[in-house]
Amino acid sequence: RKVKELVDSGELGDIACVYGNRQNLGVIRSNENALWSLGVHDLSVILWLLGEEPSEVVAYGQDFVQPGIEDVVFCFLRFPSGKVAHMHLSWLDPHKMRKMTVVGREKMVVFDDMELERKVTVYEKGPWEPTEGEWRTRTGDIFSPKIATDEPLKLELQHFLKLVADGPGDHREATDGLAVVRTLDRLTTSLDTGASA
C-alpha cells in the first residue's frame, strides 16, 4: 500500500519500469509451474501499481526438475503507456527473495518482504541532464518510511469477510482478479509457444 501511495502521488516521477524477484529453493510443486505458483503474486501487484493491463507479454522458462513443469520462469510485460515490467520466478535459487522494485524518473522504491523492519526503502536516485545532451545519474537520500506491521494474510481475510458481509460493491476485486488470470493465461501461451502473446 505504501508503494502504491508513492506511485499514485507522483513522488517517484513518471514510472519507467517495475521488476519483481520471487525465488527460493522449493517448494517444488507437481500440479503447477513457477509462473502460476509464484508469478500470480507479483503480477497482481504489478498490475495494481501500474493500473493497466499489458499490451505485450513474453515468458520463457525451463523444466529442470520435472518434465513439463517449469521451475524457472522469466517474464517481460510491456504496457500501453510505455512502461515495462519483468518477473524472475524460481524454485531453484539459494536465496529466498520476495522483492519488487519500482523505477521512477525522480525516485526509486524497493519493497523487500524478507526485511523485518525496512520493508519499503525509497532512493532519491535517477537520471539527470545537467547540460544539454549529457546524461548523468544523481544520488540523494535513502529513507525507509514507517509502515504498519499488520499481518498481510489477516488483513486479506478481514477484507474478504467484509466483502461477504457487505457485498461486493464495485466488484473491483473480481475485475482485478480477472485481469491477473487473463495475463497469466497470455504468459502461459507465450511459455508454451516461445512467442510473444
Distance from C-alpha of 124 to C-alpha of 141, rounded to nearest angstrom: 5
pLDDT tens across the length of the chain (197 residues): 999 999 999 999 999 999 999 999 978 889 999 999 999 999 999 999 999 999 999 999 999 999 999 999 999 999 999 999 999 999 999 999 999 999 999 999 999 999 988 999 999 987 766 667 777 777 888 999 988 888 888 988 998 898 889 888 888 888 999 999 999 999 999 999 988 87
- Return the CATH number of 2-193, one of 3.40.50.2000, 3.40.50.300, 3.30.360.10, 1.10.490.10: 3.30.360.10
Contacts with 98 (C-beta within 8 Å, 6 or more apart), sequence order: 21, 22, 112, 113, 114
Q: Where are the domains of the chain?
A: 2-193
For the entire predicted model, the pTM comes to: 0.90
Backbone angles phi, psi at 114, to 5 degrees: -85, -15
Give the dihedral of Cα atoms 135, 139, 140, 141; nearest 10 deg.
150
